Structure 1
């Protein structure tokens, strides 16, 4: 999938997660407070695995890092695996332990958003013909669950993700 589909899916993953986690607490306002940082985190997390491609959105911003990752692992290599998801999730959550109060709460929502956005990216890329090496570095075989074509099916996937988000919000709220 291309960056637009990943941005939409990551943002929607953040919205769905915040809604699911805090819908019963809507009177206290935690849902509304959690949605923004989770959406932003989801947006970033939705793009993050493509840091392995120097011409991607994040790859251009962090070009030296993207270039090194690309030379070491190639595109859709190490950054498109469960191990990368686990490592990123742990690293992004570590600062939460030194924070307190509302700052800790907001940062935790942002960190959760990055993780669910990352998951959305893996799911979208796993739905393409080429798939992803989900179990890298243990098994380098690419796994896919569908045969969608990058660029050709991005709009359809984006619409489905938006409908899923709207449906989730409707049923939870």
Structure 2
């Protein structure tokens, strides 16, 4: 999936968290939604040509050198590791400087999960059971930047518009 589709997935994850957690403050909602969208793009840091790699080229070069695309970074284990690291960082340092960090993190992890779910629709799939198994799972066979991805993106966008008008 491309960055637009993943961003829509992040928005969907952010709206779900905002609704589930009843976050009503616009500043907190913005921090949460920013985290969700960035989280939805973050797993592609292992691909040098991704949108996020262009924004953080040094990190992308390091990650792409260490990991193959749709490898360990595209797994639930990595989401857990990032969640634990951000939680510890927030507990130990971030909350002292910015109360909004917790809202950002509340969005970032669901955003990452949305990325994994959307990549499960891709022909390559992801390794949901890694490190137990390196078998890739996919639900559909949608190719990145294909007409079918455009359809998925439009449907997701239409659903988001409907949800957005209900929440806000």
TM class by smaller structure: 0.7 to 0.9
Tell me which residue corresponds to 1:163.
158
Residue 8 (1) aligns with residue 3 (2): no
Tell me which residue corresponds to 1:43.
37
| Residues 20, 161 of structure 1: alpha-carbon distance in 2 compared, 3 angstrom cutoff | farther
- Structure 1 residue 63: deviation in Å? 2.5
Show structure 2 runs of 5+ residues with no match: none
Tell me which residue corresponds to 1:60.
54
Tell me which residue corresponds to 1:19.
19
Q: TM-score, normalised by structure 1?
A: 0.83
Q: Is the Cα–Cα contact under 8 Å of residues 18 and 34 in structure 1 kept in the other structure?
A: no
Cα distance in 1 for residues equivalent to 2:62 and 2:110: 25
Q: Is the Cα–Cα contact under 8 Å of residues 11 and 160 in structure 2 kept in the other structure?
A: no
Q: What's the CA shift string for 1:26-55, capped at 9, x where partnerless? A: xxx44x343211111111011100000112
Alignment: residue pair count = 165
Tell me which residue corresponds to 2:103.
109
- Structure 1 residue 11: deviation in Å? 2.2
Cα distance in 1 for residues equivalent to 2:49 and 2:119: 17
Tell me which residue corresponds to 1:75.
69
- Structure 1 residue 141: deviation in Å? 1.1
